[in-house]
Structures are given as C-alpha cells and as structure tokens.
Chain A
Amino acid sequence: MPHEIPSQIVGVDVGGTFTDLVRLDVRTGEVRLAKVPSTTDNQAYGVLAALEEAGVGLVDVNLIIHGTTTTTNAVLERKLSKTGLITTHGFRDVLELGRRTRPQAYGMKGQFEPIIARNLRMEVPERMDASGNVVTVLDEDAVLTAARALIDQGCESVVIHFLHAYANPDHELRAAQIVADVWPNDYITMGHSLLSESREFERGVTAAVNASVQPLLERYIKRLVDELSNGGYSGELLVMNGNGGMVSSRLVAREAAKTVMSGPASGTMAAAYTGRKAGIANLITYDMGGTSTDVALIRDAEPSVSSEIEIEYAMPIHVPMVDVRTVGAGGGSIARVNVAGLLEVGPHSAGALPGPICYGRGGKMPTISDANLLLGRLDPTKLKSVEGGVSFEEIEAIFQRELGDPLGLDAIAAAAAVIRMANTKMAGAIRMVSISLGADPRDFCLFAFGGAGPLHASALARELGVPRVLVPSRPGITNALGCLVADLRHDFTNTVNTALDSVDMNDVHAIFASHVVEGEALLAKQNISVNEVRHIFSVDMQFAGQSHQIRVPIETPKPDRKTLRTLFEEAYFNRFRVELSEIRANLVNLNSSIIGVRDEIDLSGLIDPSGRKASLDLAQIAQRKVRFDDGFHDTRVYWRDHLPTRFTMNGPAIVQQMDTTVLIEPGDRAEGDANGNIMITVGQPL
C-alpha cells in the first residue's frame, strides 16, 4: 500500500441546488471554500467552477473526494439507461407489481413507474426452490435469445434476476456468462450480486437500479476524470457511497446503486466526525434546507445504517446506507389557516421557485422563512439585495391577510405562531425517528446544519428535552466536509436465519472472518493511505415468530452463544421495555464493516484564524429587535467569522455567517471551541 501523504485534499459535493467545495492544505491547515450553482446536465461543470472559485490549482491537489447526485436524480426522474431484464419464467412483472401497496394510507390514487419497462422484461425457463435445489434447469438458448432481443431493442444494461438466487446463484452466474458473450459492454448486473437476501421485489429493484444507473455514472465519472486531468490533476478521485464510505472512481460504477443517497450520508459523516472531535459521540443530525428537513441518528460516533431504505414510493434500495429520514418541512413550507380556523404549516412548499416571499421571486404565500424574517431572526436588511425587490411591509401585509386576520392576531404574532407550529411538528417528527431507532432524544445532542437548521435548533432542542445543540463552523457546506473526512468502507451481510440454540458458532466465526479478509483485500486495492483498519461487527436478531429484527453490536468476530443471547435480550428490553425470556431467539444476519480510517483532519481552519477578533464586542456587527416566545428582545448580532476562538455568550443572540444564521434563544448559553463549533446549552423552557 503506497504511503504518499497528500498535501491538498478537496471534498466536493454536488447537491440539488449548489455544488459545495472544501479544500484543505493538510500541511498548513489552510482551508478554502466555494459554493456555486449545480449544473444538472453535466455535474462536472459545477465541480470545475467550484474549483475555480476556490482558486484551487489542480496540480497541487493529491486527492479529490466527490459526492454526486447523478444516480439519485436519474432514479427519481426516471432518466435512466435503457435496461433490460432476464428473469424466471412467470415472474417478469415482479418489478411492477411490488408488494401491493399504495403511496398513502388515505386517498385511493397513486402512480408507479417501474425502473424497467414491461416490453424489456424477458422470461426464460429456469427455477430454483427455496433451498437452492434446481426445479427447472436453465434454458441456455432462451437466455441467449432474450439477450439478443434486448440488444436489438437498444438496451445498454441488463439485469439477470432469478428467483431464489440468494440460495443458489448457479443459474444467474451461468446466464451472466452467456449474456456476456454477446453483450456489447460490461453492464450486466446479477440479482444476487449486490444483495444476497430473499425478497424478490426488493432484490430485483436494487439490481435494476444498479444496472440502469451504471452507464450514466461511469460516463459522468469518466468525463469528470478527463476534465480534471486536462486541468493537470493526477491524483486519485474517490466517490462517496450512501453508506458514508468512499470508493475509488475506478470501482464505483460496478456497484453504482450504492451511490444513491450519498449526499445526505456525507452530511451525517461530517456530523459524526465533528462530534467526535468535540467529544460528543451521540448526535441527532438536523439538516433543514429550503424544501425539506433530514434527520439521522449517530450513536457512539457511528451513524445508524439501514439496508432497508426506500428512496421513494415502492423504490427500495436494499444496500447499506446511512439511515437518513426526510421529515418534511423546510424554510419554504407554506403556512395557511384551514377551514376549521386552525393554523397549518406544510406539507405544501413554495420550493425554490417561486420560493418564500422574501426571495423576491414572486412568492405570495407565507412561509417559515418569511416568518423568521418578520420576527427579526433573519436579517431584514438583506431584503434589499434580492432580485425582484420585496419590502418588509409587503411580507407583513401578506401575513396579516392570510394568517393574522383569520386567526385574530397581528402579522408579527401570526409569524410567531408559524414558527411555533413548525417547531412543534418538526420536534414531533424528530422524536418519531429517534424512538423508531430505539433512542430517547434526551440522551443526544442536536447537530444543526443546512441553511435553516441553526435557526430552529435551539427551540427544537428545548421542545425535545435535548440538552445541547452543536452548530458546526460551516453548516452550509457540511456535505462537502463529509467528503473530506469520510473513510474507506466496505459492508458485508450474510443471512443465517437459524435459531440461536442450533446455529453452529464455528460457521458464524468463519463468516465474520471471511468478511474481514474480503474487506481488507478491497481496501488494499485502493490507492489511498489509511491510518488504521477498523472492524465493526453486529448481528441482527429476533424472537422466533417475530418479523422485526433488531441490530445488536458485538465487540468481537468470535462471539459465543450465551453472550449473543444476553446482548440481544438487553437490546430488546432497552428498545421496547418488554422482557421475553420465555421465547427462543433467532440469529438472522451477520454484519461487518471493514473501515480504512484516514488520517485525522484539522478542522480549525474552516474559519480563517486571521479573521477572528479578540473579543465578542469586536465581533458584533449589529443590534436589532428579535421576537422570541416571550416577546421582543434587543438582540446583539455577531459575525461568525469574527468570533474569538473561545467565547461564552448568553442568549438572546444571533450569529450570522455567509450560509446560515444561528439563533441563540433567551436562557441559552453558547460557547465557541477551537474547531470553530458553537455549542449551545439549552436553557429551561420559558
């Protein structure tokens, strides 16, 4: 393994609206940042523009780590490569039928477009039973005929997905050989290759997503690599995966489905990293943007990972991904008074266009952002700089008309009501995410990021009983930072599904050992120096007769039976407060993550030390009236980049910075640390 220490490394994340970049010189600790509009057609242009804005000379860079929404967008918009399916006779519609669901509990409307069109789904005679015994031998001629037909129809990728291939992949392997002889490229995905677990719909969709984004991702990465090398770059390009780890750009397309949802994952990784450096291992991440809010849980500095994520209705991608849940409201969520005379915030959003009224792009509906502005939480002087031009009075008038009049309040009180409702709903949603993962929010610290997160975090924390809020130094570029700090990571799962009492523990130990061997071999293949290799092991268990499993972390790859039973019962009791010693336990899955930990990165340069002032007074840029729950307070406004390295301030206070506004409420106490974080200790309810 080469041990070249890069001097400049770049993390660059392409999001839906902006492409964010962080460049760090690991020798000097100097940081440069850039934020440019994303270029949707070819994200590479946005990446290059960000590099240029940050003034990064590519010859000086040794490593670029990249998060991309190429695959996510392709799936959500169904702008996919033409993909064919070869599957077991009688089962071509599995991808379209799903699991007999509907998009919402109430309302009998719904639509679903499968990843692969019906006329491109071919059936061939073959069949395994659930034990992996051959029931019908594979008709090899039929495979060849199907492959040719798909080529004739212009398919670029193909999925080979047979029933029970997780139990015996022979037919899939053989069919893949046959197809490979005639298929013009390598875009052949076997159903069992990404996910070797039963459930034909979920496994099939995962494979179909992989195949249908593979060519797109490969082309995109190739373009980017070409552009970068034209610019003089000769280092390695790594790409973020949805599990919060990264892989070499040379390998990434092979399992392209794993890059779906990588953006939210990198934000969570940055949170975990920042928290660890600040000595806080348990965090709830709270990323509030313009249209939505994402929440994830970090325990013992490890983000919760799930292999059962559905990225939209009936679109499960069952590979390990950081478990980021979208809980609704964003700054653009619209407030209205319903016919019952009750205030509602969301679910409708003004989105980016027209956006909130205060964007000046023609928005006419009151939103959360507008309410923040009316209350003085957002800087009202910024209104002058918006393109369309909109005045405070216009916003006030709309609030009066749409909300104040029907509620019998003035416009400012109506705005305060909007914030209170929004916070109540968001706190409820965060609480549901947290308890569904078996965690009591009071044991966590809230990590606030995204453009609007730090504005609401303190109020949410108070509502949730969360004692502290951590606001990182650059909340608006957290995803790019996540790229910078991410580790190399490979996840493995084997299904055992046997009663704990009868499982052969030697087999269990052998499976864990094989994960380690395979994971370390994959790490060695990548041209990146790692500081140490970490192993994380866990088992999924359940009581016999149950369908839910819970994940139980284990210390060693050689657990004994009794320990597993004890750990499982403890975990179960902690989660559900139910003790079930009378029932037998099943061992379902064995999971390992093999992680190549990269060198520590110094975050202190994220806020330029030379810009910091000696005292809080010198960092103050304004004072204005800001409305909190108990009324208006004269509130000092500070500029984040000017704050001294260490400080303590009492709320109410506002800290503004380029990409966000931090609200410190009356009763709160905020402190700065060496890495530029603000730690808010939440005061008692007013």
Chain B
Amino acid sequence: MKLDPITLSVIQAGLQQVCDEMDLSFSRSAFSPVIAEANDRSDGIYSAEDGSLIAQGAGGLPVFVGTMQYSTRTLIEMIADGSVLEPEPDDIYIVNDPYLGGTHLMDVRFARPYYRKGEIFCWLSNTGHWPDTGGAVPGGFSASATAVEQEGLRLPPVKLFKRGQLDREIYSIICSNIRVADQRIGDVKAQASALAIGEQRLDALLDRYGDAAVREAIAELRKRARTQMSACIGTIADGVYESTAWVDSDGVVDEPLAIRLKITKAKDQLTFDFNGSSPPCMGPMNSVLATTLSSVYLAMRHIFPEVPISAGAFEPLKVLRPSGTFLDAQYPRPVSGCAAEVSQRIAEAVFAALVVALPERITAAPAGTSGNFALGGHDPERGRDFVMYQLSGGGYGGNADHDGLSNGCSTIGISKAPPVEIMEQIFPVLYHRYALREGSGGAGAHRGGFGLEYELELRRGDARASFVMDHGRYGPQGALGGADGACNEVTVWRNGVPHTPLHLSKEQDISMLAGDRVHVKTPGGGGYGDAFSRDPQLVLTDVELSRYSNAQARSLFGVVIIDGAIDQQATQELRREQRPVSE
C-alpha cells in the first residue's frame, strides 16, 4: 500500500492533535503552578520498537524536545532484559532517573503502553516538573550537592498504575520522601489522565484511517522529516564551525566549565563534537546525555522552527557521545542544573558556532539563565515555613531583523514570571525595585535586549537565600562583531554590608534576617553586528529613554550626543577614528 501525500499530511496533523490535546489536558488539570501556568511539561507519542519520537505536543517545554524518546527507549530495553516488569494494558510506569534518559529528578516521566489488538502499537509518555522530589533543599536545586542522592528521590521505571489502579504502596513511598506531598495526588491524576486522553484520541485516529495506514504514515513521516531537516541543513555552507561557551562554575568548585563545540557540516548532515569540554564536575552542573542531546535539538528547532519535532528530524543531527566530559554525566554525579542552566549554554554554543553560517536566522546569545533565586525561611507572623522562587528573564540577542527582546524567558522555557504583587501576598518580602537593567544590552548594529534588575527585602523572620544562576563571569556572547551582554550580578545586603556570592552566580544558604536585601541584575542579550554602524538615531532614542547614558552612547556606539541632539560631525569622526582598530 502506498499512502497518498494528502492522507499523509492529514495523519500528521492528527498525530499532532493527539499530542496537543494531551498537553492541554495536562496543564489545565494540573495542580502545581509549575505545570499549570509555567507549562513545565510535555507529552508525546513514541515508537513501540525503540521509543523513537513520533510526535510531540507543540506547547511542551522546549527542553523536553528530545528527552522522552531516550527514557522510553531505556524503558523498552529494561523490559526486554527483564529488569522491569512486562507491561499490561492501562499500566503507567513512573521514572525520574536522570541517567536513564532524563533531565533532573524533578522532571517526572509517565509512560503508558498503547495497545491495539493485544499488541503494543506505540507508547504515550509525558513529563511534568514536580515542585519537589525530596533531597537537601526544597525544590531540588541544591547548588552545593555533590551526589544525586542529595538532590532527591530517584525512581527507576516502576508501575505506578497497574491495570489502571494506582499502586498505593509505591505512592506512599513517594509521598513519604517529598515535600508538600498532600497536593501531589492532583498532579499525578492530571498526568495520568492526559495519557488516557491521548489513548482515546489515538483510538479515534486509528479507527478512522486504519492501523496499517497510520503505521505506514509514521514510517513515511519519519523519512520526510529527515528530508526536511536535511534541506534546512543544506542551506549551511560545508565546513567546520567552532565555538566555546562557559558555565561560571559548578557551584562547588569555583572554576569555569567550558563547552567546546565543533560542528562539521557535510552532506546535509551536522556532526556535533563536544569532546574537549570540561570533565565531569563536583557540583550539580553536570548534564546527562539525554539532556545534552535534547539541548542540541532544541537549539536547532529555535533556528528552524518550521521543522516538526520527530525522530526523523533529529537523524541528520549527529551528536558524538561526549564521554568523559560534564555533558555525559554518570551516576552519582549531581545534575540539578542540567535542564535549567547547562542546556541553555549548550544552545548558546550551537548558536555561536552557526551564526556565521546562518546570520539571518540566528541571534546573538540570549541571557541564557533561568535566574533561579530561592528563599526559604520562617514567617513568624503566619507561623509557618516558606520556600519562595523567583525565576527571572534577561535580554535576548540582537539579530538581523531587530534589537533583542528585553526580559525574555529562558531559552529552554516558555513560562511567565510571577507578578510582584502575588509574591508579596504569599511571602514575607517587599520588592523595592523591579526594573529594566539600564545599559545591559550588548552593543551592536542591533543591540541586545535588556536584563532585569530587582531588589527585595526580607520583611520579617529569618531565611536562607540560594542562587543557581549563570553568566556571572562571562556575558552572553555578541555575534558578528557585536559586544557581549552585561553579566549577571547578585548582591546580598546583610545588615548594610554587601556580600557577593563566592561563585558570582551561585551560592547556597546565605543566611538573612529581617531588613536584609537581595539585589539581582540579570544578563543583557549579546549585540549583533558592529555597534559603530548602528543608526545614530536609534542610539539617540535609547539615550532619550535612559536605556544607555550619554557616555555609553559615545563609548559603546561612537555616537556623540550634545544637548539631546546628535553631533553628526563629531559622531562621524569618532566612528572613523575608532572603528578600524583591531587588537
């Protein structure tokens, strides 16, 4: 049987629809705001043979682009070798082990076999970020963990639902090991019901088009996705593209970690070689292989968003296993920073390497950190403990079309930051400022977007502040002659005395008392192109809006502004004198 191209397209849309409905169902019914509002979840369909990705919801968190196919593959292998129980209809396996095709422990994956006439036709799987999975600190982001056991409860694939029934024993083990366990049942039911919705919708699709046609369509779509990605890659000139991106430190040892990337373009294929990157680290900035691969895929999807996510699209992207580096961490290396921080730096390395080849498509580096600030303490007025998270955005990179966006969300996320008013309602803090960080955008013909600057005060009680941020040592990279964006800065004011975290962007458990303050400045985006070629009128506008000072207009952009007007002649002279200088 040969499928006509229209039926093929219609089945493709149908598979996509199944995944989108799972995504929608999961977030609409989830309990945790991390899933319900921040959409820190993803749903997809995976092959019965090897777990390869058939289709994935368009609204899933970007960092999950590739991970579930590895966890599903591992599950299939473990079933085959007998280390996991054989599946039965309506079973759901739960797993969060990072080394078995995951990210960090908080990303909990469910997998459900989908049966057709007694045989497994494919797998349905989803990931949701649980607010807590136990471990040393609430929320799981311990900047000083040195082993995965300190990061939380690690679950190998086990059946949480057996023939549709929740296994109360396993569930009670989980609940005894995590914080705020009483609300988790809401997320568990939401996550399971999303898979049930997927099953219903897939039934309808298969009933309509027939199992054989859908099976054939899946195989054909895989080939075509490969063709499509190859065609995109074909627009890149053959050659070797290199870049380096830096993680400030691992949180334990104060030394930068290098991501050294060499991309080789040949024959419609890209080969990604990360060998030469730093070795595995003591602290939690290790990445497991699945996350490293997924980071490459999500970067490519940012570059070519028109290619649908599927295993076929990944085939022309060959990632050499970076054994012996911190991008292929093995048990028991701590990994909590892999999804939030290291993944963004991997994407930055991909952008930085390829921007010369695809200058219209790729931006200078975005802020590239989730800006995770956690404050845990005791609120004496309400007589209870609290844990607060402030995730924040930063500037995006300038690009061929325009300046970078200000205060954009992380490269790997799509979530909104909470309003100041909501934070103050729930936690004993008072924000003194929540502002655009002036001067932070990297200079360029199209400048980077601006970061965020906020300052908050602990109003009562005592608390401990922890930071898992990045880009404190090196700003987001400029491109094609543009300058780097401003670095992340953190200052904790204790009793009027400023304290800078030892690793600039990372430190655990800085104790604070009422009246002490935290002041954070997030990175600006990298600039794109030569700043001295920026339209002076745009520079003047930025000065009028106090985004840059007069002095910065002169030093960064070579534009002389006198009494609110451009001095054309002085500007020309300044730009002529300084531009040709090369180091």
Contacts and interface: CB of A to CB of B under 8 A. Distances in A.
B304 to A, nearest CB: 9
B392 A100 contact: yes
B24 A102 contact: no
Contacts, number: 214
A98 B232 CA distance: 33
A201 to B, nearest CB: 6
Interface stretch (B92-100, B110-118, B139-147, B415-423): B415-423
Interface string B6-32: 101110111011001100110011111
B399 interface: yes
A578 B193 contact: yes
Contact of B545 (A119, A198, A338, A577): A119
B185 interface: yes
Contacts of B306: 338
Interface stretch (B160-168, B221-229, B498-506): B221-229
Contacts of B190: 576, 578
Contact of B185 (A102, A105, A338, A580): A580
B407 A339 contact: no
B546 A101 contact: no
B572 interface: no
B5 interface: yes
Contact of A130 (B29, B421, B452): B421
B576 interface: no
Given A93-B434, A340-B227, A576 B28 contact: yes
Contacts of A428: 13, 16-17, 20
Contacts of A342: 5, 8-9, 12, 224
Contact of B5 (A94, A339, A343, A435): A343
Interface in A341-370: 341-344
B424 A129 contact: yes
B276 interface: no
Interface string A19-30: 000000000000
Given A94-B434, A578-B29, A163 B420 contact: yes
A230 to B, nearest CB: 43
Nearest to B10: A424
Q: Which among B190, B232, B420 has the highest number of chain A CB atoms within 10 Å?
A: B420
Given A110-B396, A428-B13, A576-B25, A97 B452 contact: yes
A90 B456 CA distance: 11
A92 interface: yes
A545 B421 contact: no
Contact of B186 (A408, A546, A577): A546
Contacts of A575: 28-29
A91 interface: yes
A112 B417 CA distance: 17
Interface in A394-438: 407-408, 417, 420-421, 424-425, 428, 431-432, 435-436
A631 interface: no
B72 interface: no
Contacts of A111: 402-403, 405
B231 interface: yes
A421 B391 CA distance: 41
Interface in A132-183: 135, 163-164, 166
A580 B188 CA distance: 11
Interface in B422-443: 422, 424-425, 430-436
Contacts of B573: none
Contact of A105 (B21, B59, B424): B59
B133 interface: no
A429 B583 CA distance: 55
Nearest to A166: B421
A255 to B, nearest CB: 22
A646 B12 CA distance: 43
A578 B186 CA distance: 8
Contact of A106 (B302, B401, B424, B436): B302
A407 B5 contact: yes
B345 interface: no
A338 B58 CA distance: 19
Contact of B36 (A112, A198, A432, A548): A548
A96 interface: yes
A109 B403 CA distance: 9
A107 B419 contact: no
B13 A102 contact: no
B193 A421 contact: no
B419 A435 contact: no
B301 A106 contact: yes
Interface string A57-101: 000000000000000000000000000000000111110111111
B433 A105 contact: no
Contact of A425 (B8, B13, B455, B547): B13
A547 interface: yes
B491 to A, nearest CB: 16
Contacts of A545: 31-32, 180, 183, 186
A583 B186 contact: yes
A586 to B, nearest CB: 12
Nearest to A438: B28
B536 interface: no
B28 A436 contact: yes
B357 interface: no
B268 to A, nearest CB: 11
Interface string B213-237: 0000000000011011001100000
A424 B416 CA distance: 31
Nearest to A342: B9
B40 to A, nearest CB: 12
Interface string A527-559: 000000000000000011111100000000000
A109 B398 CA distance: 8
A91 B433 contact: yes
B377 interface: no
B380 interface: no
Q: Which among B17, B37, B298, B421 has the highest number of chain A CB atoms within 10 Å?
A: B421
A101 B409 contact: yes
Contacts of A106: 62, 298, 301-302, 305
Nearest to B402: A111
A582 interface: yes
A421 B13 contact: yes
A428 B301 CA distance: 23
A432 B6 contact: no
Contacts of B425: 130, 198
Given A343-B9, A578-B29, A163 B421 contact: yes
A408 B419 CA distance: 54
A576 to B, nearest CB: 4
Nearest to B39: A105
B228 A90 contact: no
Contacts of B579: none
A199 B421 contact: yes
A119 B544 contact: yes
Given A110-B396, A435-B21, A580-B185, 19 more contacts: A90-B455, A91-B434, A93-B434, A100-B409, A102-B405, A108-B408, A111-B405, A118-B436, A118-B545, A129-B430, A130-B424, A163-B421, A342-B5, A424-B10, A436-B28, A546-B30, A575-B29, A576-B29, A576-B193
Interface of B: 5-6, 8-10, 12-14, 16-17, 20-21, 24-25, 28-33, 36-37, 58-59, 62, 180, 182-183, 185-186, 189-190, 193, 196, 224-225, 227-228, 231-232, 298, 301-302, 305-306, 351, 363, 366, 391-393, 396-397, 399, 401-403, 405-409, 411, 414, 416-417, 419-422, 424-425, 430-436, 452, 455, 544-547
Interface of A: 90-94, 96-102, 104-112, 117-119, 127, 129-130, 135, 163-164, 166, 198-202, 338-344, 407-408, 417, 420-421, 424-425, 428, 431-432, 435-436, 543-548, 575-578, 580, 582-583
Nearest 9 Cβ contacts at the A-B interface: A100-B393, A90-B433, A340-B224, A106-B305, A340-B228, A99-B416, A339-B231, A576-B29, A547-B33
7 contacts: A96-B406, A105-B59, A127-B430, A198-B422, A420-B10, A546-B30, A575-B29
